[in-house]
Amino acid sequence: MASHRRPKPAGRARVSILTAAAATAVALSSQAGAHADPAPSKDQVKQQVDTLNEQAEVKTEEYNAAVEKEQGLQKQVSQLQDQVARQQAEVSTIQGSLGEIAAEQYRTGGIPQTVQLMLSASPDSFLGQAGAMNQVGSTQADVLKSFKGEQAKLDQQKAEAEQKLAELDSTTQRLQADKEEIQGKLAQARNLLDSLTQKERDELAAAEAKAAADAKAKATGGQSTERASRDAARTDVAVNVPAGSHAAAAIAAAQSKLGTPYSYGAAGPDSFDCSGLMKWAYAQAGVSLPRTSQEQRSAGTNVGTNIASALPGDLIIYNSSASHVALYVGNGQVIHAPHTGAVVRYETATMSPINAIVRP
């Protein structure tokens, strides 16, 4: 017959341990919830995005410099390869002449040693032997000297071409690394913005649009913010710019691109990064500027860092790394290509620390 014993009650110590473990679990759970990082606010997200955009801009200017270097190296390599091909043809022609001389000597009973030396892979061995020199005529000696000189030139050109090819390969790898780093920072910025609500994103966009409209109102003679917002495509040359000057032409060119999207590495005409816009605008005025903001910092007369010293048409270089550049249009305002996701627009000239004001 089956036993119907009652289960043995848990010991007091065991109950205490289980109770304590449960209490600890509850406490840890509540602490984890209490210490979970809160979602960043709209302003915090904007600050983080601005930082990422600035970092991406630094890498963009490095990317632009690498592109410029790569293009220069490709041109040099092409020229060197052409030189090598022409030099190889010259050496082959001289080798043919040596063969003809050797064959003629052989047919006319020439000295076998001479034939052997002239056909040697190392003409230095021939030229270094005075006895052999006495056994050949001046014509043969001249041909061999010419061969030696042309072969040395060919070897030098080949070595130079190989060096440039290695440098080109290194630059191309750096270019790819810069591109990946830029894309990574921009992806981080997009993810941060995507973490906001649609309402918060709309508020940020509206704030940027209002700031740009206010800047345009000041730059173009004080029209109202409302009118500037309605008339965003209007392109008025800044006040107090000498008509027909390079500055006026550059400003007019930049104003014609208001609303054009930013794109890193782009220099127009359909998209721009910051230095690309400056280079393109001044090119329309007949002035050649270098490609990067760092190079543009040295592309004219440096008039300091006080915005009161700036004249319309000056380049305003920003940040300690000189990673951003804008075009001053007067009344404390600039036109620039800000960052990915934005368009060419007006902005207050003191938007970031000024590194230099340059007059092309």
Contact criterion met (CB below 8 Å) for 111 and 134: no
- Report which DSSP code applies to 239: T
Q: Which of 4, 35, 246, 324 is catalytic?
A: 324
Q: Which of 4, 246, 274, 339 is catalytic?
A: 274
Q: Is 324 a catalytic residue?
A: yes
Could you tell me which residues are beta bridge partners of residue 316? 326, 357
Strand ranges of the sheet holding 345-348, from the earlier edge strand across to the other edge: 301-302, 354-359, 315-318, 324-330, 333-336, 345-348
Q: Provide the 3-class DSSP secondary structure of residue 301.
A: strand
Q: Provide the 3-class DSSP secondary structure of residue 317.
A: strand
Contact criterion met (CB below 8 Å) for 288 and 335: no
CB neighbour class for 148 (10 Å; exposed up to 12, middle 13-18, buried from 19): middle
CA–CA distance, 168 with 166 (Å, rounded to integer) = 5
What's the angle, vertex CA 168, arms to CA 179 and CA 339, rounded to 5? 25
Q: Which of 268, 253, 260 is nearest to 232 (CA)?
A: 260
Angle between helices 274-284 and 42-107 (to 10 degrees): 70
Q: Which of 4, 35, 246, 336 is catalytic?
A: 336
Q: Is 339 a catalytic residue?
A: no
CA–CA distance, 70 with 10 (Å, rounded to integer) = 79
Q: Which two structure tokens, joined as six digits, stand for 187?
A: 């992806």
* Catalytic residue numbers, as ranges: 274, 324, 336
